[in-house]
């Protein structure tokens, strides 16, 4: 693997890159609408299905040539070899000399998966069995609080990858809840988040899961200490900590030191990246909410997408296609933003989840060997539940000056209670992708206003404001329903899409050094915030902020 690492080509100098630049120059002048007219089969040629997902990517500014050039670039960047490095447990996380073997967590095929020459499946299966035993005992009411009362609430304390996936999936799979245990999540260090949650729970019937791969993250450790102190104050019994606190971490010693007893310590491993850890014991809150059967159904979905990614030809490989489309817009059509728009409120935390997955992975400015890149990398990802976003930022998507790539997601079967609502949501979803692509000409706007009886002088005034340029790209991802297997496939789709892009850009998607500097400066600044020392060495703006703070505190 060292060879292919060293040999990442200088991207912008590659003939494949140059071809794409020239091709982009031509295609910029095309209209997606016209491409449909020229090819009546376009929607069929540019759509595909996996076990549970349907992707329509025909509303992109691409032709068959674009895909050929993009796959040519992927081949030149060694995508095939890198996929094998990933799946065979090579240390693809080069700066930390670690594998990124999240696929082992959902390896439902029962085959061996190796990291550093060692089969990790026995470890994975052991933790899964421990989770199953624990969750089942809890659901049967056999695992109880220190006073013998059944558990009514679970509070997950974690942040980033130890929070976002569990929250997102617990919300997404709400209809699959198998029990009445209430779930709560504390992530933000600010003190108000933990306060708001502790106010809602009874310590004698609450379990706390302290979830942190490192078990050193300041945010999580601060909230965990506060939760433990609050708990001890409330129940007046330090021995009860062992009964009410669970841990998920790769740092066993730190869990023990915190007071978590052996049987309540769930393990992950250094080869599980935080933002790839939902299918591990980090998903314990989800498993408690929906039961192990549903949790494992989600793992099945993950596994199906892993298999698809590893084996499907690239022109029929969903993560490869989506990854390459992202590269096309980022590097050749100058679209820095990528918006994610689910038309199902239960996916409302999915954009936040993807923000970490995509931006913490591919927000990098040097290649694996440390060379500064001379091209753009990770997209700026954001999103919101589609129907709500229509009433906030869609204006910019339709008439803003900068192109944005959009992913629309929707289940065929949404709300069981109010299917007519879901029909409206779907009508909006499909209409938005049409509106983005087709736009509205001055003539169309004029005709519409004439038909509505608008006075001619007002029509002329209004026309420039009513023109929609159109030609805005989108993917639409449909699925039968938002069930556990589908969610697993969806998450794995984006994980592998991110990996594909990292290979093209030649960057390591599995580290996150960019988050460290801010943490270090926060540690250094704390005494200046608390007033224990001045911050004479800080920049003038920071000194000004501190001065304001202290003026208003005194």
Q: Measured between alpha carbons, how far is 153 from 104 in angstroms, rounded to an integer? A: 30
Nearer to ligand F6P, 117 or 518 (CB): 518
State in angstroms the smallest separation of the CB of 131 from ligand F6P: 17
If DSSP codes are grouped into helix, strand and coil, which group holds residue 383? strand
DSSP state of 330: I
Residues that bind ligand F6P (CB under 6 A): 159-162, 212-214, 217, 220, 274-275, 360, 512, 515
Would you list the DSSP string of 169-230? HHHHTGGG--S--EEEEE--TTSHHHHHHHTT--GGGEEEEEE-SSS--HHHHHHHHHHHHH
Q: Which residues are catalytic?
A: 360, 391, 519
* Token code pair at residue 380: 């700026």
**Number of helices (H) and strands (E), helices first, in the chain?**
24, 13
Q: Distance between CA atoms of 394 and 409, rounded to whole angstroms?
A: 15
For ligand F6P, the closer of residues 159 and 240 by Cβ is 159
> Which residue lies nearer to ligand F6P by CB, 213 or 244?
213
Residue 103 backbone phi and psi in degrees, to 5: -65, -25
The nearest distance, CB 547 to ligand F6P, in angstroms, is: 29
Q: Does residue 279 contact residue 180 with C-beta atoms inside 8 Å?
A: no
User: In whole angstroms, how close is the CB of 10 to ligand F6P at the nearest point?
Assistant: 29
Q: Which residues, other chains included, contact 73 with Cβ-Cβ below 8 Å and sequence gap of 6+?
A: 14, 16, 17, 20, 324, 327, 504
The least distance separating ligand F6P from the CB of residue 472, rounded to whole angstroms, comes to 32
Closest to ligand F6P by CB, 58 or 217:
217
Nearest position to ligand F6P, beta carbon: 274
SS3 of the chain: helix, strand, coil, percent, to 5: 55, 10, 30
Q: Is the Cβ–Cβ distance between 74 and 320 less than 8 Å?
A: yes
Distance of alpha carbon 427 from alpha carbon 153, whole angstroms: 38
Residue whose structure tokens are 């700066």: 95
Q: Which is nearer to ligand F6P, 162 or 294 (CB)?
A: 162
User: What's the min distance (Å) between Cβ of 207 and ligand F6P?
Assistant: 19
Give least dist CB 321 to ligand F6P, A.
27
Residue 344 or residue 511: which is nearer to ligand F6P going by CB? 511
């Amino acid at each position: 693997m060292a060879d292919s690492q060293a040999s990442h080509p200088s991207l912008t100098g590659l003939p494949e890159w140059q071809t794409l630049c020239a091709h982009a120059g031509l295609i910029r002048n095309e209209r997606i609408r016209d491409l449909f007219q020229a090819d009546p089969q376009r929607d069929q040629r540019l759509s595909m299905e996996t076990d549970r997902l349907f992707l329509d990517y025909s509303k992109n500014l691409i032709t068959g040539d674009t895909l050929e050039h993009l796959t040519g670039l992927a081949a030149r960047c060694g995508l095939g070899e890198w996929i094998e490095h990933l799946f065979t447990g090579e240390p693809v996380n080069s700066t930390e000399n670690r594998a990124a073997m999240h696929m082992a967590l959902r390896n439902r095929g029962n085959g061996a998966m190796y990291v550093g020459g060692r089969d990790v499946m026995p470890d994975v299966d052991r933790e899964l069995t421990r989770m199953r035993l624990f969750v089942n005992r809890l659901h049967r009411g056999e695992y109880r609080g220190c006073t013998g009362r059944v558990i009514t609430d679970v509070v997950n304390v974690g942040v980033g990858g130890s929070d976002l996936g569990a929250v997102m999936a617990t919300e997404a799979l709400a209809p699959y809840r198998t029990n009445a245990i209430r779930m709560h999540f504390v992530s933000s260090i600010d003190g108000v988040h933990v306060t708001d949650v502790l106010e809602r729970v009874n310590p004698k019937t609450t379990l706390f899961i302290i979830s942190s791969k490192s078990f050193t993250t300041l945010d999580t450790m601060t909230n965990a200490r506060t939760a433990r102190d609050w708990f001890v104050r409330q129940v007046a019994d330090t021995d009860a900590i062992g009964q009410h606190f669970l841990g998920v971490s790769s740092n066993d010693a730190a869990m023990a030191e915190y007071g978590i007893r052996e049987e309540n310590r769930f393990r992950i491993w250094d080869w599980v990246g935080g933002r790839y850890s939902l299918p591990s014991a980090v998903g314990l809150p989800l498993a408690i909410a929906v039961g192990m059967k549903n949790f494992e159904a989600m793992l099945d979905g993950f596994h199906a997408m892993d298999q698809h990614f590893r084996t499907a030809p690239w022109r029929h490989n969903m993560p490869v296609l989506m990854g390459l489309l992202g590269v096309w817009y980022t590097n050749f059509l100058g679209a820095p933003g990528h918006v994610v728009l689910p038309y199902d409120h239960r996916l409302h935390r999915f954009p936040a989840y993807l923000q970490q997955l995509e931006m913490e992975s591919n927000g990098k400015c040097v290649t694996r060997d440390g060379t500064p890149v001379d091209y753009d990398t990770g997209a700026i990802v954001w999103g919101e539940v589609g129907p709500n976003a229509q009433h906030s930022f869609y204006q910019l998507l339709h008439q803003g000056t900068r192109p944005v790539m959009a992913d629309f997601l929707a289940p065929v079967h949404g709300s069981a209670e109010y299917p007519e609502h879901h029909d409206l949501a779907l009508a909006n979803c499909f209409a938005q992708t049409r509106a983005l692509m087709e736009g509205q000409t001055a003539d169309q706007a004029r005709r519409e206003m004439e038909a509505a009886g608008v006075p001619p002088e007002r029509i002329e005034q209004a026309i420039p404001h009513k023109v929609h340029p159109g030609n805005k790209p989108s993917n639409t991802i449909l699925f039968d329903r938002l069930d556990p297997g589908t969610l697993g496939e969806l998450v794995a789709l984006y994980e592998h899409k991110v990996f594909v892009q990292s290979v093209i850009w030649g960057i390591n998607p599995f580290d996150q050094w960019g988050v460290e500097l801010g943490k270090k400066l926060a540690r250094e600044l704390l005494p200046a915030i608390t007033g224990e020392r001045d911050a004479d060495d800080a920049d003038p703006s920071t000194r000004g902020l501190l001065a304001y703070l202290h003026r208003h505190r005194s």
